[in-house]
Amino acid sequence: MVSVSMNVNGKPASGEVEGRTLLSAFLRENLKLTGTHIGCDTSQCGACVVHVDGKAVKACTMLAAEADGSEVKTIEGMANADGSLGVVQQAFQDHHGLQCGFCTPGMVMSAAALLSENPNPSEAEIREYLEGNLCRCTGYHNIVKAIMAAAGQDVSKIAAE
């Protein structure tokens, strides 16, 4: 067993885990932060994306022990301080960027990471950035639209799908 401690959504979090424990499992099982979804565990789907030291990371590709000492942000940390939806979350709601919602935490975390790297991405740049995030439901159109809206772009002329 190894001791891990990290800051998660601005609060200290620690635990004893097996060395092979994935960050995704640590977040969900030890910390009960079940907003981080596990769709594949093989680095395909992106449902488990979180931020580690400000970068988007698939939490199933990282050991909890590797995140020791890091700043981690999960979907639970994306709301505003008053509990209202954060900008990216609100844009997903406003533009119907989700259906079943399974992919949504990872999509929101990836979108937020993209916007912090590139605050005004083109549609093509958004689609390219989301290559590691799979959605079975939406056809991606409204997800891309939501991210453009979150970036402050005028999406009024883009058709809904």
Residue numbers at the binding site for ligand FES (CB under 6 A): 38-41, 43-48, 58, 60, 98-103, 135-138
| Closer residue to ligand FES, CB minimum distance, 6 or 48 | 48
| Closer residue to ligand FES, CB minimum distance, 89 or 138 | 138
Query: Shortest distance, CB of residue 111 to ligand FES, whole angstroms?
Result: 13
CA distance 70 to 144: 30
| Closer residue to ligand FES, CB minimum distance, 28 or 81 | 28
Query: Shortest distance, CB of residue 81 to ligand FES, whole angstroms?
Result: 27
- How does strand 49-52 pair with strand 71-73? antiparallel
Strands (DSSP E) found in the chain: 2-8, 11-17, 49-52, 55-58, 71-73
CA 131, distance to chain mean position in Å, is 14
Q: Considering Cα of 50, then 101, then 32, then 83, what sign does the dihedral take?
A: positive
| Closer residue to ligand FES, CB minimum distance, 130 or 149 | 130
Query: Shortest distance, CB of residue 77 to ligand FES, whole angstroms?
Result: 18
